[in-house]
Amino acid sequence: MTFVSKPRVHHPNLPTNELGLTRRDYEGSVSTLCAGCGHDSVSAAIVQACAELSLPPHRFAKVSGIGCSSKTPSYFLNRSHGFNSVHGRMPSVATGANLANRDLMCVGVSGDGDSASIGLGQFAHVVRRRTNMLYLVDNNGTYGLTKGQFSATNDKGSTSKKGVPNLYEPIDLVSMALQLGASFVARSFSGDKAQLVPLIKAALKHKGMAFIDVISPCVAFNNHGGSTKSFEFVREHSSSVVDADLIFGQPEITADYAEGTQENIAMPDGSTLQLYKIDANYDPHDRIGAMTYVQKMQEQGQVATGLLYVDPEALECHDIMETTARPLNELTEETLCPGSEVLESINQSYR
């Protein structure tokens, strides 16, 4: 099958941004994911964020690993190059891409399998290197593309579609990112545009490693009562139910709740995800505090969402390495090749 891009017919009524572009100019090909998949909401949020920021839509390097989540870079920013690479290795490919041209916005999309299992090592190291990028995980607590096996972000005790309980401790990528030196760490929910879009915008503007863990339910495999990443789970564990437009089955699941409140989201599998939106009193500049906070909430069975930590002053990888301000991929012989005369003196030093 061949997928064609959406026709680029400009709707006269669509608002334009500072570049005179509409949201459609930031879109990608038609998604091939399951209808209602949380990942599509994340792609839409990226489109909206980039359009609202008036970023040139061709100046991105989109990189991903393998998985349903990793397919999504072809569903946004069609004018930019994308690279669907190897399972779990998006971080290294993104690192290379960013080394080659530091002027491009680097957006890496990964899944919980991609980042917390096979790619955990690369995740850890790209974070500690502070590569200047947006690292976004579509976290559905399952391996979507291989049909529903447990992933390492699954909570202990949650059950798979076949009813098998998860016996092992979950890996929390947010806690790891905080510990390993990410200078921007946030968590959100795919269905909560009001929270997710501003977070993506802030992350894109952030210089350095910006990590966002987006809980993004899988409607096909992790949408049953036993899963803690399901829509139902979230909804049921909510203490202050805010207006939420939650629809089971195929349509997209959304959430919209106020700061300082909890939202219980019913996941497609019948379980509920308890989200807690941090409020204005929360200090996002305290890394240790953020680590404690996230852990404490987890202890209470709640998932803290929002901007958990940011350090606008932190150095990014290029600063640390002291590489030239010019993109390395633009340097030519004049800059790169020392020439024959220098070589002659080098020869002499080997005599």
Ligand X SMILES: Cc1ncc(C[n+]2csc(CCOP(=O)(O)OP(=O)(O)O)c2C)c(N)n1
Chain positions contacting ligand X, by CB under 6 A: 66-69, 87, 111-114, 138, 140, 142-146, 151
Map the footprint of ligand SF4 across residues 276-305, applying CB under 6 A: none
The single residue listed with the structure tokens 């080997």 is 350
- Residue with Cβ nearer Mg ion (113 or 284): 113
Does residue 111 bind Mg ion (CB under 5 A)?
Answer: yes
Map the footprint of Mg ion across residues 296-335, applying CB under 5 A: none
Map the footprint of ligand SF4 across residues 57-76, applying CB under 6 A: 68
Name the nearest CA neighbour of 201 among 337, 291, 100, 107.
Answer: 107
* Helix 120-129 × helix 90-100 angle, to 10°: 30
Measured over the CA atoms of residue 171, residue 173, residue 176 and residue 180, the dihedral's sign is: positive
Does residue 218 bind ligand SF4 (CB under 6 A)?
Answer: yes
Does residue 37 bind ligand SF4 (CB under 6 A)?
Answer: yes
Does residue 223 bind Mg ion (CB under 5 A)?
Answer: no
Per CB under 5 A, the segment of 15-23, 107-115, 157-165, 243-251 that binds Mg ion is 107-115
Map the footprint of another protein across residues 25-44, applying CB under 8 A: 29, 32
- Residue with Cβ nearer Mg ion (36 or 57): 36
Using CB distances below 5 to 8 A depending on partner kind, what does residue 300 bind out of ligand X, another protein, Mg ion, none? none
For residue 206, CA distances in Å to 134, 150, 267 come to: 9, 33, 31
Residues 6 or more apart in contact with residue 4 via CB below 8 angstroms: 29, 30
Cα separation, 17 vs 22, in Å, equals 6
Q: Which of 17, 29, 34, 256 is the binder for ligand SF4 (CB under 6 A)?
A: 34
Cα separation, 116 vs 112, in Å, equals 5
**What is the DSSP secondary-structure string of 41-52?**
HHHHHHHHHHHH
**Least distance to ligand SF4 from the beta carbon of 218, Å?**
3
Phi-psi region of 293 (alpha: psi -120 to 50; beta: other; left: phi over 0): alpha
Q: Is 334 exposed, middle or buried (0-12, 13-18, 19+ CB in 10 A)?
A: exposed
Mark 131-150 with x for binding to ligand SF4 (rule: CB under 6 A) and - for no binding. ---------x---xx-----
Mark 173-212 with x for binding to ligand SF4 (rule: CB under 6 A) and - for no binding. ----------------------------------------
Q: Are 130 and 182 within 8 A, CB to CB? A: yes
Does residue 214 bind ligand SF4 (CB under 6 A)?
Answer: no
- Residue with Cβ nearer ligand SF4 (155 or 252): 252
Work out the widest C-alpha separation in the chain, in whole angstroms: 79
- Residue with Cβ nearer ligand X (22 or 117): 117
| Binding-site ranges for Mg ion (CB under 5 A) | 111-113, 140
| Binding-site ranges for ligand SF4 (CB under 6 A) | 33-34, 37, 39, 68, 140, 144-145, 218-221
